[in-house]
Structures are given as structure tokens and as C-alpha cells.
Amino acid sequence: MTGGASASAEHDELRQVVRKFLGERSPSHAVRRLMAAGEERDHEVWSLLAGQLGLTGIAVPERFGGAGYGPAELAVVLEEMGGALLVAPYFATVALAGQALTASADEDAMARWLPGIADGTLTATLAVAEESGAWDLAEVAAAAEPAGGGWAVTGTKLFVIDGHTAGLLLVVARAPDGLGVFAVDGGAAGVEAARLDTLDPTRALASVAFNGAPAVRVGVGRDTAAWLPQVLDLALAALAAEQLGGAARCLDMAVSYAKVREQFGRPIGSFQAIKHKCANLLVDVECGRSAVFHASAAAATGQPDAPLAAVLAYTHCSQAFTRAAKECIQIHGGIGYTWEHDAHLYLRRAKSSQLLFGPPARQRARLAELAGI
Amino acid sequence: MRFDYSQELEDYRAAVRAFIERHGPGARKHVGVRAPDPDQVPALRAWVARLYAAGYLGQTWPAAYGGRPGATIEHTFIVAEEIARARTWGEIGAGALAAGAVLAFGSEAQRQRYLPRIRSGEDLWCQLFSEPGAGSDLASLKTRAVRDGDHFVVNGQKVWTTNGHHADLGYLLARTNPDVAKQAGITAFALDMRTPGVDVRPLREITGTSDFNEVFLDNVRIPAEAVIGEVDGGWRVANASLGHERSGVSARAVELYAQLDDLVELARRTTTAAGRPAIADGATRQRIGRLAALAHVTDVMSKAVRSRIANGTEDAADGPLAKVFFSEVNLAMTECGVALQGVGGMAVEGDRQAYADGWWQDAYLYARAYTIAGGANEVLKTVVAERALGLPRDKR
Amino acid sequence: MTREPSTALPVPEPEPDADFRARLREFLAAHHPGKPPKDPGQRVGWTKAWLATLFDHGYAGPGWPREFGGMELPFAHQVIYHEEAARARVPGPLGTGLNIAAPTIIKYGTQEQKRRWLAPMLRGDTVWAQGYSEPEAGSDLPSLRTTARRDGDEYVVRGQKVWTSHAGDADIFFALVRTGTRDSRQHGITYLVIDARAPGVQVRPLRDLTGGQLFAEVFFDDVRVPVANRIGAENGGWPLARTSLGHERAAGALNQAAMYRRVLTELESLARERGQLADPLVRDQFVDLEIRVRIMRYNAMMTIGGILARGDAGPTSSISRLLVTAFEQDLHEFAVDLLGPAGLLGKSEPRAVQRSRWLTGFLRTRASTIGAGTREIQLNTVAEQVLGLPRDPGMPPR
Ligand SMILES: Cc1cc2nc3c(=O)[nH]c(=O)nc-3n(C[C@H](O)[C@H](O)[C@H](O)COP(=O)(O)OP(=O)(O)OC[C@H]3O[C@@H](n4cnc5c(N)ncnc54)[C@H](O)[C@@H]3O)c2cc1C
Ligand SMILES: Cc1cc2nc3c(=O)[nH]c(=O)nc-3n(C[C@H](O)[C@H](O)[C@H](O)COP(=O)(O)OP(=O)(O)OC[C@H]3O[C@@H](n4cnc5c(N)ncnc54)[C@H](O)[C@@H]3O)c2cc1C
């Protein structure tokens, strides 16, 4: 995609299409139905989203059946999905696994799995964290050993997004020659996955135990350390976009409510205590928008500051989203404290997104390093 | 100012602590003002009765109604603090609130009728104040009570009624005169929750638990003798009650300290990237240190308020100020507890991965309730500005 | 959604006119006035000389019409202009006329007024100062009391202004005065241009909390002002008071970000020198400021990109002041905290760290959330104008 004003117009159009689709197909009651049933997606919605809208293929290269766009367009889609709290394995499949396969530049692996991701027939995920929960490659203990013509993976991964339903698991493990990424079929022998009970019922996390599970190595011949960290940064930028969408929606809900809820004979939005909260949230949200835009543009064009921009966007949006979700509850008063109101679903999503890749302090420490502080 | 206690009070505290340890129903699963599971209720009624019988609840009531001669508000505080320290159950529902209203405004017949059953745990009460349209602006409530011979017929809806589903009686505010200033047309009632037309529908909170309810009132007939205080005099009754919601002040500080201990324990057990316990990490130490300081301030503040209450020199802003401060420290502390757990902080009650069976996650979500229930912080801050600082009144 | 999110573009790179940039850079280097003189009195003359140099070479007023000595540059070139000026670290404008009065004159002045006032202001020959605030009228400007009584073809002005920045150096005041009835509020306000040397004008310097003399009180004791000095209609001054010229202001947005980037880096170096960067809490606070300073730049890019792509600055421009003012206050306070007791030493102390700049900054930035509209008013404005929240009855009209 070329830059210039045309990109802006295209993004706006994409945004409108996705927003309209999600407004119709992933309204609150649909999210709640899936959530209550513990299902990972609505299959009809998924097939429309993949087929009619081509969203699963948005960041997949054209020669593998995708649309050939990149992180910037993915960010637009994820922002909308975050706003709607879509329950679907989209983030894991497209933002994690899809971008990992593309970054691996492994022709065989791409040819084998990307077309399935692009057309929505394959769901996938990336499994990094273990006992500590941190997405820290240095802490990976899972092991991969040569077995027959391929590999066998052993170890336990925790907090794997959609790990119990994914058709394909990309597992980061230690091979005799160093860190590698190994593709394991979700249904393979020696794979045992179970959904975890977590704060955010709209995003499934699983523990996945591998016991000599048969695997194919991804990125053979390339130093994993050269491309895997980049995938993690892409994941951060992608998650930041999703968080931004959530934060903007919280602000929107709060403002809409403050306009109509009356106490003491006037709308509560006319009280400055409420006004100032909302204006401060707007500052957070607009800053998040700038940060996400920059992070995704930097990733798309391979700028040297892309890693820093990604951590920055993620750190800011994590805070912005949790703050917006909390204030959204506060501004709604008692009704905001109920399960039936959506505000808490956003707080749950916000808090768990903030923790998804490890304690926030670690991200901040990394930002300090990248910025040369 | 000194906050240490007389030997008499220290002994009293020791006795209360021992009593709770020996007879108490054990630690609760969740923090805050929560409703028990239905199957716990019979045992908790018995526990409440035991606390009353031992003179640990209701002790400042007049002796004729079971109060303990010589008991002061200090004793009440100590009991509340010890209950908080043990993280166990105290009185279930709004019994103390209702008793206060009946003692101050009720008839002798009402006292004879309601107080013994509160003491025996036979009657659990709930507070039927808030409505969908009347929260911060409580005086704008719309539930109507219309006189019909020796009854009032009540129609309307209440909401956020904690423990409404367990309650035998409700302390109800309703509008008896719509033609006067909004505060002047309200009446307080004792409502038998089993009266036909009372429909209690449980709600679910953001924590996933069901502590509060909506209560629909459809042509509910309340006998005129259940009016507490004077007809149209309910605003005064309610205000006095809301002022009584203050014995919680020092208990909340105790709660915070207990939570601080947990936080330190948590920081000992979690490890950082370098594989060291989080407690050894400088930034974590600073953060916990700051929270410890805030907890300490909360404690000192609540002790000051507590002693002013005991001396009768309490300021109208004391309660609101202490509550706002506590609730904000509590937010920061629960946030820290969840953040320390990193991605593990996402696992909740019931999950094998969850630390302390999800205590922190629940406390984090519940922390929002403290900033809304019993007066939202924004409104309380306005009260503090006006009452403590003498700033001009906001047009409310 | 209340607002459509903007998908603006970063400033287009490669830059639109490398040639222009090169020419400008060369000019600024060749004529650079060197280091500012230490004596504040001399500094005014030094700045005036520089403004004249710019004007005489056709390098003044990037956004102004050519007719009045400006460059009339397209927006993208204005961005370049400001970048290069910041890079060369040349002196900024004198007084508040260029930023605040000039747009009003350009939009609402008569041809005669424009000819009379604009070029001398741009060239630095006349320094303008803003007489809006009064002792009893700050946030609530419509309550101002300085009166102007019509007497033939003159107004007779009587009253007091306060916090008037640069009043001591000013040749001209642009002021809001009451021509309507006492309680006519914003409907009875007129915009007048007043000669600072007219009989009856008295300026009394005030000392601000940094110890400096930035602003003053200005008294008008039956000062006679020609009716020809009125901009707009009588009683029609209020809507003119906050005029801006296109997106002129946004063109400099990147520089503010760049300036703070530089300041933060300097603070970081200082902390490094002092061996404080290993402290995890210090690092964490730097991370916080680092995020904000970078976002400031991203925001500026969004604003500028929005103007270039759609002619619309978008919400990032409305929130930028809230962000920047909080940032500069936090930055300086953090710096003082970092220095500990040494941070308290005044300029004249040999042990003062970096001539006490952080301490001065800490004090000076108190004004950031007061001057030109307080933070509280700004928050209300953003809540009402951008988010559409119901009006607070206590807020001044727009
Ligand atoms: C967990 C929980 C338990 C509760 N239990 C009970 C119970 O047992 N019985 C009972 O009767 N009630 C109960 N309540 C209700 C509680 O008292 C109300 O929620 C509270 O008074 C706020 O009212 P509201 O929810 O209608 O919010 P609103 O009054 O609608 O407030 C919404 C927002 O507007 C703000 N606001 C309102 N007015 C102003 C103002 N003048 N200035 C600035 N900001 C303002 C508030 O601060 C809040 O942020 C409970 C609430 C909770 C959360
Ligand atoms: C360094 C500096 C330079 C200045 N230069 C100039 C100049 O050159 N020319 C000029 O005309 N003026 C100048 N000013 C004045 C400036 O514009 C005023 O100080 C400002 O508008 C605030 O007015 P005030 O000082 O009267 O404060 P007030 O309006 O009295 O405000 C006092 C406090 O009350 C708050 N407040 C007021 N109204 C509301 C409301 N409706 N809601 C909530 N809070 C409210 C304010 O936020 C503030 O915190 C300058 C000020 C400073 C500090």
C-alpha cells in the first residue's frame, strides 16, 4: 500500500466496513452469549469475517491468498474489534501466528499454513510464556528434540491465547542448537490443552502441555533470534490497537451516559467532576491514537524505532484503557457496577491485556533500555 | 494526639479477638460488604445472635433493649476492627442501621417489636433507599406511598439493595407527599419483605457474585404502625442513619493493613525477570513502601476520626473524607496486587493458576464499589469541600 | 461514537520542498544574531534587530499575507519554516501581538488598519501587549469593567488591566473594553488598540513568583483613543478576541515537541552524570516522561498530517495544551526532586546546578496552567466542545 492521502481514505473505509459488520454481528448480547457458553467464536461470524470481508487475510501476503496489507491495516481492524470486544480467535490467529509465519520468511511454512489463515479455515496461536507468564525468550524452558524426520516438543506453556482451540500451535522451544519455533498440530498426540479461568471471559487463555508432541520447525536455516523478537513487537503494537479501541469505546459510553443521566435536576455531565474526568480520558485516548498510528506505521515501513514505538504504544494504551474502563464504571455509578452493564467487560479486558505479556514493570524497563535511558 | 488505648480497652480487644477465634464463622472468601451464600445464612444468623448475646453488637443501645451498661462507641469500634482483622462476618445486612433509626425515631411498640428479633438473628434487614433515578440525589426518589385507611400502599422500584434476597425486613424510604420540597415529602418505613407485591430480583455485580438486588414494589400494603418517625419526616430519619454508617471507619483501616500484609507476602512469592523475588526489586519496594505509607495515613486518619466521634467533636466532613481517602488507597493497593502477579494476575477464583484463589482479582473489582456505594466519591468530595473547608455550596 | 477517529498521516517524508529548506537554512545561518546579551534591557533591542533582518529579507511571517510583509506560505512550508527556525535557535517574537492580535487584524481590520499596524509589528518596530485580564475578570472575561465612553470621534478609556505580559516593552496595547451597559457581559465588549504612550496610561511592573518582571498592571485614566483604533463593530469585540489564522499555530507544533525532547535529554544526561540512572524509580519516572514527550511529537504529526490530508487539525490539537502543560510541570518538578537539596540553590550560588534552570522552570511552569486560560477552564472547554457534554452554567461563552 502506498502512502499519502489515499492510505488515509482507505483506512477510513476499512474502519467503516469493520465497524458496521461488528455492530451487526458482535453486539453486546452476542459477546455475552459466547462468553457464557465458553465458546471461542461464532462460526458464522467467523466465516463472514474471513470470507466476505477477508479480514483474516488482511496481513497475509497476496501470494498466499491474503490481501497483502500490513500492520497499519491490521491495527485499524483490531481497534474496531477491541471496541466491540469481539469474541474470536482473531488476535491469536492473525496478529500472532500469521505475523509470526510471515516474519519467519520460511517459504514451506508460509505455503503450508498461511492460505488456511487467510481463508479462515485454520485458527492458530503462538505459545511463548511458561511458569512466570512473561513473554521473555530467555525464560523459555520447553524443549524440542529431533524425532524421526521432524521434531518432538516437550514442556508446558501457560496463558496461551486460544491455546485449547487453535488448529495450529506455534511453540517457542529450545532445540539443541538454540531457540526455535515449532509448529504443532492442535489435535496431535502428546498435546493436552485446558482453558484457564481468567479475569477476561471474552478472551480464552489456556495451559498447553506438550509431551513429545510431533512438530515441524519453522524458519529453518534462519537465526530465530533475528526474527522472533520482531514478532513479539508486532504483537505489542497489535494489542495496543485493540486496547485503543476499547478505551475509545469506554469514553464513548461514559460521555453518552453523562449526557442523559440526571441527578439534582441536571445531567451529571454538566458537573465538572465528571467533565474533567471525560476530558482527561480524551487526552489519554487521543495520545493512544497517535501512539498506535505511529507504532503500526513504523512496523509497516520497518523503521528502526519500530520496537520502541510498539512498547510505547502498548504501555500507554494499557494505562489508557484500564483508566478509561475504571472511570467508565465510576461515571455510571451503581449501574456500572453490575454484571449486566458492559463496563466491567472492558475493565476485565483492559486489565488482562495489560498483563498479557507479563508484568507492566518489565515493559517499562524494556522501554527504558530501548530509549537509551 | 495519642491513639493508644486504656488497659480496659486493650483487655476488651483481647477478649473480642479470642471470642471471634473460638466461635467465629471463619474467614470470608471475599472482601467488602457482601452477601453470604444462601446455605451459610442459618449459621450466620446464629453467629449474629451470639455476638449480640455476648454484648459485642448493640452494646451502646439503652440497657432496656439489651445494651451493655458502660459500653461506649469505642467498644463498638473495637468489635468492628476485630471482625475486620479476622476477615470474618459481622452483622448481615442493615440491622444496625435500622436499629439506630428505630431507637432514635421509632415508637416504643416498634422497639419492642423489631429490636429483639434483630438481636436474635431472626430478622435480617436490608436498606431500600436507592432507586434507578435516585442515587446521589437520593431525595429525588419516586417510590410512592399512598395512605389507605390504616395502611400505606406502596408502588415503585428500589435498586442496588445489598442482601435484599436474604432480608426479612426492609428499611424503606418512600414519597408520601409529592407536592412539597423533595426532602419534605419522604417517609421511612419498616417493610416486611414477605408482604405480597414485594418482588426481589437478584442482580449480578462486576465481580460475578450476587450481593445486591432490585426490589419491585407493586401495591404493597404496609400498616401505618410501620412508619418510622413521622409521616413526611423520613429525610431526617435517613440522614441520621447515614451518619451512623461510621463505625466502619476504623475497620476499613484494619482491612487495609491486612491487605498490605498480603501484598508483602505476595511480593515475596512472585519472582521478577531476574529470577529474584519481587520484594527485592527496588521499584516494587518503593511502590509497596508508598502504599504502606498511605495505609498508615488512612489508619491515623481513621483513629483521629474515631477519637473525635468518641469525644463528640466529630466534624460532618470526617466520614466522607476518611471514606474517599480509604477507597482511593484501596484502589491503588489492589491494582498493585494484581499487577505484581503479571500475567498470572488474570487467573481468577476457581482456577488452579490463581494466587490465593483469586482474592486479589475479586478485591480489585470490588474496589470500585467503595468509590460508588454509600455516596460516590465525587459527591463526597463536594461535601468535604463544603463542610470541612466552608466553600460555597454547589447548586445541587 | 461521538467523534470519528482520524487516520491522519505523519508528515510526508521526503519533505515537499528540500530546496526551500536549504535556502532558509542558509539564510538563518548567515544572519544568525549570535548569543543573546545577558542584560534583559539589551535583549529587547537585539531581538528587534533580528526581526527587522527577517522582515527586510522577506523571511518574516510565514503564514501572513504577502501584502503586509508576510510570506504567505502553504501549510507544509510553514512547518518547514518553524522546524528550521527552531533548529537554528533564532530569537522568537516580541510581545503577544504577533500570535494573538495579528490574526484579528488580518481577519477583521480595515485596509487602513492593516496597513498601519501589521508591517511594523512584524518588523519588531512596535511591540504589542494584550490587555484582556482585569483584577475582577480572569477566567470570566465577559465580566470585565474597564469602560470606553464615546466622545466624538474618540473613546475615553478608564479602568485597569492586570497580568499584562511585556507591558513594560509595549508600544501598543490591544484591549477589550466595555462599551455596553454594566451587565451587558460579552454583548457589550469592544476591541480597541491603544497607544501605550498616550496620556493617562500608566504601567506598573509586577514581580512574578520567579522573581522576574514578566507582567505588569496597566492603568487607564481617561485615555483618549481614536475611534479609528477600534477593530470590528462597537460592542462586537468579543467574537474577535480569539481569532486564529488558519492553522498557523499548528505549524509550530513539532517544534514544541522537539524542544521538550531536547530538555528531557538534557535532564537525562544530568541524571546520568550524577549516577542516578540506575535507581529503578528514577528510571521509571524517566520512562513516563519519555512516553509523553514522544507522544507529543506523534500528536503534532497527527495534527499536521490531518491538516495536510483533510484540512482538519482533529482532536489532537485541542488536547495538546493539556498534555504539554502537565508535562512541563511534571518534568521540572521531577528535575528538582532528582537534584535534592542542590536543586534548591538559586542562580547566584556557585554550587547551583546548571544556573538553577530546573528550579526556575519549576517555578515558571506554575503559569502554564493559569495563563491563556486555566487548566480547569481548558478541561471544561474540551469536555463541552469536543465531547459535547452539557454546558456548565458557570463557563464563559465562546
Ligand atoms: C456495591 C453496592 C452496594 C449498594 N448497596 C445499597 C443498598 O444496600 N441500599 C441502597 O439503598 N443503595 C445501595 N447502593 C447504592 C448506592 O448508594 C448508589 O449507587 C450511590 O448513591 C450512587 O448513586 P447512583 O448509582 O445512582 O449513581 P449516580 O448518582 O447516577 O452517579 C453517577 C455518577 O455521577 C456522579 N455525580 C452525581 N451527582 C454528582 C454531583 N452533584 N457532582 C459531581 N458528580 C456527581 C457520581 O459521583 C457518579 O460518578 C449500593 C451501591 C453499590 C455499588
Ligand atoms: C504568566 C502569566 C502571563 C499572563 N499574561 C497575560 C497577558 O499578557 N494579558 C492578559 O490579558 N492576561 C494575561 N494573563 C492572565 C491570564 O489570562 C489569567 O490569569 C487567567 O485567565 C486566569 O484568570 P485569573 O488569574 O483571574 O484567575 P481566576 O479566573 O480568578 O481563576 C482562579 C481559579 O479558579 C478557577 N476557575 C475560574 N472559573 C472557573 C470555572 N468556571 N470552573 C472551574 N474553575 C474555575 C481557575 O481555573 C483558577 O484555578 C497572564 C497570566 C499569567 C499567569
Q: Give the CATH number of the domain where residue C277 resides.
A: 1.20.140.10
Q: Does C281 share its domain with C348?
A: yes
Find the residue in B nearest to C284 (Cα): B283
Using CA atoms, how far apart are residues B97 and B83, in angstroms rounded to an integer? 18
Asked if the structure places residue C201 within a domain, the reply is yes
Question: Which numbered atom of ligand 2 lies nearest the CA of C375?
Answer: 47
Q: Which ligand lies nearest the alpha carbon of C217?
A: 2
Cα-to-centroid distance, C312 and ligand 2 (Å): 29
| Same domain assignment for residues C360 and C295 | yes
Q: What is the pTM of this model?
A: 0.92
Beta strands in chain C (DSSP E): 128-131, 147-151, 154-165, 172-178, 189-195, 201-205, 215-226, 230-231
Long-range contacts of A31-40 (CB under 8 A, 24+ apart): A31/A84, A31/A85, A31/A86, A31/A87, A31/A202, A31/A345, A34/A87, A34/A202, A35/A87, A35/A201, A35/A202, A35/A345, A38/A195, A38/A204, A39/A87, A40/A87, A40/A88, A40/A89, A40/A123, A40/A162, A40/A165, A40/A204
Task: Give residues with Cβ within 8 angstroms of C300, minimum separation 6.
Answer: C250, C253, C254, C256, C257, C316, C320
Higher-pLDDT residue of C38 and A318 is: A318
* Partners of residue C9 in chain A, C-beta under 8 Å: 3-5, 7-8
- Find the C396 Cα to ligand 2 centroid distance in Å: 12
Q: Which of B279, B284, B286, B394 to mutate to test the interface with C (most CBs of C within 10 A)?
A: B286
Percent of chain B with pLDDT over 70: 97
Q: What are phi and psi of C220, to 5 degrees?
A: -115, 115
Per-residue pLDDT tens over the stretch C335-384: 999 999 999 999 889 999 999 999 999 999 999 999 989 999 999 999 99
- Same-domain check for residues C228 and C299: no
Rounded CA-CA distance A203/A106 in Å is 29
Q: Which residue has the cell 512473561?
A: A134
Q: What is the pLDDT of residue A105?
A: 96
Q: Which domain CATH number covers C187?
A: 2.40.110.10
Of C276, C277, C279, C281, which to mutate for an interface test with B (greatest number of B Cβ within 10 Å)? C281
Verify that C51 and C167 share a domain, yes or no: no
- Give A5-122's CATH code, choosing from 1.20.810.10, 3.30.70.1450, 1.10.540.10, 1.10.150.110: 1.10.540.10
Q: Which residues of A touch C283 (CB under 8 A)?
A: 365, 368, 373
Amino acid sitting at position C45: G
d(CA A235, CA A363): 13
Confidence at residue B244, expressed as pLDDT on a 0 to 100 scale: 66
Nearest CA owner, ligand 2 atom 31: C139
- Looking at residue B3, what is its pLDDT? 66
Handedness of CA B81, B84, B90, B93 (dihedral sign): positive
Note the pLDDT tens digit of each residue in C230-241.
Answer: 999 999 999 999
Distance, in angstroms, between A8 CA and closest chain C CA?
6
CA angle A336, A337, A343 (to 5 degrees): 45
pLDDT of residue C316: 82
B98: closest CA among B125, B61, B66? B125
DSSP state letter for B157: E
Nearest to C5 among A248, A364, A365 (CB): A248
Please compute the mean of the pLDDT values over residues C109-115 and round it to a whole number.
97
**Backbone φ/ψ region at C226: left (φ over 0), alpha (ψ -120 to 50), beta:** beta
**pLDDT tens for residues B28-62?**
999 999 999 999 999 999 999 999 999 999 999 99
Contact A294, A313 (CB under 8 A): yes
Burial class (CB in 10 A: 0-12, 13-18, 19+), B66: middle
Give the tens place of pLDDT for each residue, A180-194: 999 999 999 999 999
Chain B's closest residue to A357, CA to CA, is B343
Q: Which of C222-236, C265-279, C298-312 has the lowest mean pLDDT?
A: C298-312
What distance in Å separates the CA atoms of residue A145 and residue A155, rounded to the nearest whole number?
12
- At residue C6, the pLDDT reads 35
Buried b (16+ CB within 10 A) or exposed e, C223-257: bebeeebbbbebbbbbebbebebebbbbbbbbbbb
Nearest-angstrom CA–CA distance, A56 and A263? 46
Closest CA to B156 of B130, B179, B193: B130
Q: Is B172 left (phi over 0), alpha (psi -120 to 50) or beta?
A: beta
Q: What's the CA gap between A235 and A125, in Å, rounded?
A: 11
Ligand 2 geometric centre to CA of C369 (Å): 9
CATH 1.20.140.10, chain A: domain bounds: 225-370
Residues C263 and C381 in one domain: yes
**Residue C150, number of CB atoms within 10 A of its CB:** 12
pLDDT given for residue A362 in this prediction:
86
| Residue of C83, C84, C134, C248 marked catalytic | C248
Residue A337 CA: nearest ligand 1 atom is 53
d(CA A141, CA A155): 7
- Ligand 1 centre distance from Cα of residue B247 (Å): 20
Minimum mean pLDDT range among A151-160, A202-211, B352-361: B352-361
- Say what the pLDDT of residue C229 is: 98
C292 and C313 inside one domain: yes
Establish whether the linkage from the previous residue to C10 is cis, with ω within 30° of 0.
no
Which atom of ligand 2 is closest in space to residue C161's alpha carbon?
11
Q: Calculate the alpha carbon distances from A128 to A74, A354, B302 in Å.
A: 22, 17, 47
Number of structural domains (chain C) is 3
Q: Give the pLDDT confidence score for residue C2 in this predicted structure.
A: 34
Tens-place pLDDT, residues A323-352: 999 999 999 999 999 999 999 999 999 999
Together in a domain, C202 and C327 = no
Is the CATH number 1.20.140.10 carried by domain A225-370? Answer: yes
On chain A, the residues whose CB falls within 8 A of the CB of C294 are 291, 312
Residue with cell 401495591: B219
For all residues of chain A together, what is the average pLDDT? 95
Q: Is the pLDDT of residue B305 over 70?
A: yes
CA neighbor of B315 nearest in space, from B365, B384, B375, B212: B384
Same domain, C367 and C275: yes
Closest CA to B100 of B119, B85, B115: B115
Which of B159, B341, B371 lies closest to A330 in CB terms? Answer: B371
Residue burial A231-253, b: 16+ Cβ < 10 Å; e: rest: bbbbbbbbbbbbbbbbbbbbbbb
The answer, yes or no, to whether residue A8 has pLDDT greater than 80, is no
User: Is residue C10 in a domain?
Assistant: no
**A6 pLDDT above the threshold of 60:** no
What is the distance in A from the centroid of ligand 2 to the CA of C371?
Answer: 6
- Contacts with B203 from chain A: Cβ below 8 Å: 338-340
Which residue out of B34, B124, B127, B130 has the highest number of ligand 1 atoms within 8 Å of its CB and is therefore the one to mutate? B130
pLDDT, tens digit, for every residue of B210-230?
Answer: 999 999 999 999 999 999 999
Q: What is the pLDDT of residue B396?
A: 59
Q: How far is CA B12 from the centre of its chain?
A: 23
Q: pLDDT digit string (tens) for A128-142?
A: 999 878 888 998 999
Burial of C32 (0-12, 13-18, 19+ CB in 10 A): middle
Q: Write out pLDDT tens, residues A36-71.
A: 999 999 999 999 999 999 999 999 999 999 999 999
In a domain, C11, yes or no: no
Contact between A341 and A29 under an 8 Å Cβ cutoff? The reply is no
pLDDT of residue C124: 96
Give residue C173's domain range: 128-235
What are the pocket residues of ligand 2 if the criterion is a CB atom closer than 6 Å to any ligand atom?
A: A 272; C 96, 130-133, 138-139, 163-165, 214-215, 367, 370-374, 376-377, 394-395
CB contacts of B282 in chain C (<8 Å) are 279-281
Grid cell, residue A233, equals 513487537
Q: How far is the CA of A363 from the centre of ligand 2 (A)?
A: 40
Q: Is the pLDDT of residue C140 over 50?
A: yes
In terms of C-beta distances under 8 Å and separation of at least 24 residues, what long-range contacts does C262-268 make, across chains too? C263/C331, C264/C289, C264/C290, C264/C293, C264/C331, C267/C331, C267/C334, C267/C335, C267/C338, C267/C358, C268/A373
State the burial class of residue B197 (Cβ atoms within 10 Å of its Cβ: 0-12, 13-18, 19+): middle
Q: Does C5 map to a domain?
A: no
Residue closest via CA to ligand 2's atom 48 equals C374
Interior angle at CA B158, CA B154 and CA B161, nearest 5: 130
Is the predicted pLDDT of residue B383 greater than 80, yes or no? yes
Question: What CATH number matches the domain at A125-223, 1.20.950.20, 1.10.580.10, 1.10.3720.10, 2.40.110.10?
Answer: 2.40.110.10
Last residue of a domain, one of C68, C98, C123: C123
In sequence order, the 6+-apart residues with CB closer than 8 A to the CB of A126 are: A92, A96, A97, A100, A161, A170, A172, A231, A235
Q: Which ligand 2 atom sits closest to the C-alpha of C394?
A: 41
pLDDT band at C1 (very low <50, low <70, confident <90, very high): very low
Give the residue from B11, B47, B45, B57 showing the smallest Cα distance to B26.
B47
C128-131 and C172-178: which strand pairing?
parallel
Minimal Cβ distance to B281: which of C279, C280, C393: C280
- Secondary structure class of C156 (helix, strand, coil): strand
Q: Dihedral (C-alpha) A337, A343, A348, A353: value to the nearest 10 degrees?
A: -150
Residue numbers in A near B272 (CB within 8 A) = 359, 361-362
Ligand of minimum distance to the alpha carbon of C395: 2
pLDDT at residue number C7: 37
Residue-level pLDDT at A3: 38
Q: Go through the domains of chain B in sequence order and give each one's CATH number.
A: 7-92 (1.10.540.10), 125-231 (2.40.110.10), 246-387 (1.20.140.10)
- CATH 2.40.110.10 domain range(s) in chain A: 125-223
Ligand that lies nearest to the alpha carbon of residue B170, given by its number in the listed order:
1
Confirm whether B349 is a catalytic residue: no
Q: What is the per-residue pLDDT for B334?
A: 97
Q: Chain C interface residues facing chain B, Cβ-Cβ under 8 Å?
A: 279-281, 283-284, 393
CB of C216 within 8 A of CB of C169?
no
pLDDT of residue B148 exceeding 80: yes
Cα distances from B166 to residues A330, B98, B118, B143, B200, in angstroms, run: 27, 15, 14, 22, 10
Q: Is the pLDDT of residue B312 over 90?
A: no
Q: Give the pLDDT of residue A179.
A: 95
Identify whether residues C271 and C154 lie together within a single domain.
Answer: no
The pLDDT-based confidence of A5 (bands split at 50, 70, 90) is very low
Residues C226 and C189 in one domain: yes
Catalytic residue among B245, B314, B328, B335: B245
Q: Is residue B373 within 6 Å of ligand 1 at its C-beta?
A: yes
Residue-level pLDDT at A7: 61
Instruction: Please report the number of interchain residue pairs, chain A to chain B, with beta-carbon separation below 8 angstroms.
Output: 145
Residues carrying CATH 1.10.540.10, chain A: 5-122
Question: Which CATH number belongs to the domain containing residue C81 in this structure?
Answer: 1.10.540.10
**Measured distance CA(B300)–CA(B306) in Å, rounded:** 10
Question: Which cell goes with B23?
Answer: 466461635
d(CA A239, CA C130): 48
Over pLDDT 70: what percentage of chain C? 96
In terms of domains, do C349 and C256 share one? Answer: yes
**Interface contact A158, partner B, CB < 8 A:** yes
Smallest Cβ–Cβ distance between B159 and the set A133, A265, A334 belongs to: A334
- Closest Cα partner for A59 from A46, A45, A72? A72
How far is A75 from A80, CA to CA, in rounded Å? Answer: 9
Q: What is the per-residue pLDDT across C70-82, written as a single tens digit (0 to 9) for each? A: 999 999 899 999 9
Domain boundary among C177, C200, C235: C235
Q: At what angle do helices B73-85 and B7-23 cross, to 10 degrees?
A: 40
Q: What is the DSSP letter of C98?
A: I
Q: Tally Cβ neighbours within 10 Å of residue A141.
A: 11
Question: Residue C333's pLDDT band (boundaries 50, 70, 90)?
Answer: very high
Residues in chain C: 398
Helices (H) and strands (E) in chain C, counts: 10, 8
Let me know whether C57 and C171 are in one domain: no
